[in-house]
Structure 1
Amino acid sequence: MYRERPSRIPHAVLWSSTVQVAETHRVLPDGCLDLLWTGGRLTVAGPDTVAHIALWQPGTPFVGLRFGSGVGPRVLGLPAHELRDQRVPLDQLWPAAQVRRLTERLAEAPGPGGLIEAFAHDRLGAAPQADPVVERVAERLGQGAAVGEVAREVGLSARQLHRRSLDAFGYGPKTLARILRLHRALELGRSGTAAAEAAYAAGYADQAHLSREVRSLTGVTLTSLVA
């Protein structure tokens, strides 16, 4: 059973899931960082460039706080690209004693999700202010704007935009744009839009282009993802 709700942290979602049967789960790239609590351990899931295959055992509970729009690096205190395509125990990133105290509190908490959210909220309050350029980049690329157009809008050179994107999202703006375009197409497909129409609406050259991108980023077909 999977549940999620908007977090009180801007651009974040609190989610939980308990696996009923053993399964192989395909986690699609989404330009986000997740702070995960499972098996009595805190782990950071970095931004993926391609689908991550996870093996989930029955009865395993997961709680996660998913950070979008460059929020994760501000909470964690390090650039997103250092975590790209990785799953890293939190005690390898932060002082072990600090993580141990938080882990002990989570183990005793009746609702660990709220505690993770409160902790991340406090961390964010002590972090540098959000970069409005980063938020604008995520918003405009999510709307399908071209990378060059976005760079001009925010007043950055291509090199500056690439560097800021690496720190905030884990990869450059072109990769982020590909991933966000994929999700636009998937949303359309899951709403019943035909593949050719979804390809056009999401910004692909044609249906074949969409099919190639889906296979490249996820390893499977559009039909299987929509189903």
Structure 2
Amino acid sequence: MSYPPVERLAPAAGYAERPSRLTGAVVWTNTPAASGARPVLPDGCMDLLWTEGRLLVAGPDTRAYVPDGAPGRWAGVRFFPGTAPAFLGVPAHELRDQRVELAELWVASEVRRLTARVDSAADPVSALEEVALARAAESEPVDPLLREVVSALDAGRPVAAVADELGLGARQLHRRSLAAFGYGPKTLARVLRLQRALALARDGVPFVETAVRAGFADQAHLARDVRELAGAPLGELLARG
């Protein structure tokens, strides 16, 4: 599958993204307006972040995250769901709903060296991507079963059916999902369904049809889930850009 279907950040002037040379990842840049940052919506992903003088990690979100930093240039490598923990060496659930300095996860002196390299690069965005590529080459291979979990849940398959199809017990799937995605498969399924709905609605699909095609029981179910996960009604999210 091609992931993610829409931007993790709400569409806005100053935001751009492109496919990364790291399999399944996306490289993005953002220069938030001084009038206020837009919320980051849950998408099942984790990001390696750079802003001048800092390298950080964005853990998997279970709700909308509103950046509170000062305006400035930001860049990130957004990993395909389930692939960042092998890169970082930390289970995803330990970073759930958090933004942490990379120096809290890796050797501080190494992070200072990498930060200086990205800061001084002619193209910091490409330099950040090189950091991700080099580290990924040294990391343990990602379990290919994780992509199957994402693909099956994103197709709307029930969690129990996914576990059976992959030869996993429900508890085993839950444990592996916590480590890889930061939360259990039911929450991941909700997040992926949210992203499907946002993609459809942004393409102009009526909300009633969006609910059906994205896998919700009805439009009321869509409205509840969007408000719980994204922190705002669907119409308001679309109006932001």
TM-score range (shorter-chain normalised) is: over 0.9
| 2:183 match | 171
| 2:34 match | 21
Amino acid at match of 1:47: P
* Alignment partner of 1:53 is 2:66: yes
Amino acid at match of 1:118: E
Residues of 2 paired with 1:194 and 1:36: CA distance?
35
Secondary structure class of the residue paired with 1:26? coil
| 1:214 match | 226
**1:107-154 CA distances to partner (integer Å, 9 max, x unpaired)?**
110111212211211211121122111111011111111111111111
Q: RMSD value over aligned CA atoms?
A: 1.1
2:58–2:98: 8 Å Cα contact kept in structure 1?
yes
More strand by share: 1
Q: How does 1:139-158 map to 2 (within 5 A)?
A: 139-158=151-170
| 2:23 match | 10
Q: Percent identity?
A: 54
Secondary structure class of the residue paired with 1:23? coil
Residues of 2 paired with 1:199 and 1:30: CA distance?
18
| 2:5 match | none
Gapped regions of structure 1 (runs ≥ 5): none
1:46–1:83: 8 Å Cα contact kept in structure 2?
yes
| 2:47 match | 34
Secondary structure class of the residue paired with 2:28? strand
Larger CA deviation: 14-23 vs 80-89: 14-23
| 1:117 match | 129
Amino acid at match of 2:180: A
* Alignment partner of 1:185 is 2:193: no
1:25–1:55: 8 Å Cα contact kept in structure 2?
no
Amino acid at match of 1:54: P
Amino acid at match of 2:21: R
Amino acid at match of 2:16: R
1:22 deviation in Å?
2.7
1:64 deviation in Å?
0.5
1:49 deviation in Å?
0.5
Residues of 2 paired with 1:47 and 1:163: CA distance?
16
Question: What TM-score do the two structures reach when normalised by structure 2?
Answer: 0.91
Q: How many residues were matched structurally?
A: 226
Residues of 1 paired with 2:216 and 2:32: CA distance?
35
Secondary structure class of the residue paired with 2:26? strand
